Amino acid sequence: MAAMVETLVTAFVTLFVVIDPIGIAPIFASITPRDSVPQRRQIAVKGVAIAAVILIAFALGGQALLTAMGIGLPAFQIAGGLLLLLLSIDMVMVRHSGLRETTPGEAEEGMQRSDVSVFPLGIPLIAGPGALTSIVLLMGEAQGQLATQGAILAVMLAVLVLTLLCLLATARLMRVLGRTGINVVTRVFGIIMAALAVQFILDGLGAVWPGA
């Protein structure tokens, strides 16, 4: 029981930090500047729903895909940990490298689209590389434990609901926190993400060299 609670807490913290619902809010505002409140609500709901479908697909099929490609879980843990470590550096430094946010070209393309719920909101802002990597790692570490995997999926959906609530409250969040406040929160999340990334790497190395 204690092990499952620890796993679920790790899953929640990992997904919440990677998706960063609070940090997405100002980006959402920037890609929907001319939309009305009802239109923003519709875009937010659709974007989160699309991200949920993508994340669930990766959660259920990610391990099978790795196996088909001949990639073991330890290798993916190390590679995923390194990717998340790079992501955490971007978060702490508040840099925009394309790992966590859209590139300038992607943002411009998104602004020209009539529906931004699929791109760039659904993917890569919500279901980005970090989130996809994290859910595959979390499901892989709970391999063979169906109850734990089901609980991880429930945690993921809970984080997506929180993301939706933050998107719907974008204007209020911007008034309360401001850009500086949101950057401070992002930096704190980045430090937590760095520790989680290192743990994934250590888990992968431990699986390769059990005696290390």
Number of neighbours of residue 33 by Cβ within 10 angstroms:
7
Q: What pTM, to 2 d.p., does this model score?
A: 0.86
On whether the CB atoms of residues 124 and 24 are closer than 8 A, the answer is no
pLDDT (tens digit per residue) in 72-102: 889 999 999 999 998 888 888 877 665 556 6
* Domain limits, the chain: 2-208
Could you read off the pLDDT of 16-65 as tens digits, one per residue?
A: 999 999 999 998 998 888 889 999 999 999 999 999 999 999 999 998 89
